[in-house]
Structure 1
């Protein structure tokens, strides 16, 4: 039943005839229309009750445009019909293209987010050398591509110890990377006299940091966000209006969840700093399951929240072949509760009556996080666009 329902939904979404896809739980003024040739159009759904908050966000977003055919992006502002990167190199290329498009549009504070490891492990582990090294290699690959466009890229690590370790492990790769340098968040501090005695061997990175115009921050923890903010504000204050700052695979949603807890930065870190960062390439896979009263009794399904600047935010349903197919899109960011709801509807698993007790029990009382709800406290809404 579920397979037939999913197939029917996707056929009506992508084939044959014009189809309007609207999830009633999603209070958005945008709906998706797909023609028989696979062209997507986004239209303003006049009269739909979507509230003042989302209206304000959408008012500053780019207007809708058209054209994407069979997953191949002709106009990236229209988004993708499907997405299946064949390698991490392809995903890095897509991320860099989005970064360069955003820079061309005058954006300076950017976020790139996609899984750094080809595993089912979800969530950043600060002590995982495997994650750290993989993310460093991906950031270096992206930095080379950005530097090839004529920019001076400085990859910023959390501290001097991490910087020394990275210089030792990736020494040859760093030397061969033209236009790319490495540094750390504390490179402005006076050098530690003990480092010379211990023979750290890592060169000073302060001068390289001053000369760069593009900064890629990687592997920082929640507490180290304080240093990231101080670094960015220092560079902006020193005639750095032309400089670009990229938070690369830092899993900001996970870090935001720790803000406000004892011994962690306050929620002002999001309201005043992280809210100003525009996600330009974002792929966050999610796995879900639901029990049903008939075999197989447990239905597992996967999807992702996807965004490729300047395209819209898209909810993708993962197919058997590993391809992500677009089932919903919006110019404003979906929260995770909305992503799950869109995927559930697409799978034909939203069988509870609207407003019923069973629907309440399935969704729960709270379907969004504090930073998704605190719209009025944000100094900027860039992170929602």
Structure 2
């Protein structure tokens, strides 16, 4: 009997199946430093213990997407090792902040199955949940992935496609325990623009670009213990669908989040991901740019210091976003990512440097 695993194929999944994932993982300050080096993250609460403490937190929390990638990576060996493509996300909720030194486990439930017309692949829908060392849920999300069949002649299961919300209700968004924006210094943060300075329908060109290096995207994917073959095995991929290694889609998410600092510097936390699609694959050598649109904004019950912006961020490759792509992100192979999410942003803040002649940064709003 073989002791190694080739992963699950479409016919190995069944509705309601519970999949506990190996291996427990502690996120350390070293992981945080490497994540910052890979993406150039500059959001101040995640960058500085002193800044975070001024807002009522005990120290700088782990970046929300680093936590997402770690939990996602745990699910890969059981769910998407034989994936043709990771298709999308929905109903992602950040439930509790994570801090360096916290340890995480994950499990998933199969909530939908649908074989494709070719009979060679099928779509698997799962809800994955991450837990900290005390057993508290920290993150929950749904994703759907196209998985190859081992036996093309195997009869298809009855199709079940889960009903998912178009967006997480703003009333369900979680503000980290202890956070109080009255101590948030918007000058030190790098932008004077707060929640009330953004308008629904506004579009922001984030201007800057970042080129993906082969080593960097593979280091990033290994950081999350993501074992998907498409990101590493050049021999297999040369004969495959794309002819080369493709970049983990989450790498594009983090690049876009980092680039969005220029225009959304005070979007302090990602509170939920309403939906997201990897529209096209990307590879080393591509240069990533992005733009965002404000889809909605909501005050939070009982909070006058922080509000929620619903944002759509679109990442493209190899050209800037001055003219913005057409609203239909499927137009053109240059569009890589289209993600809809809620970000928490202060409504009130300190201006410790504003009275000392610090100039207001030039606006980058379209």
TM-score when normalising by structure 2: 0.24
TM-score when normalising by structure 1: 0.23
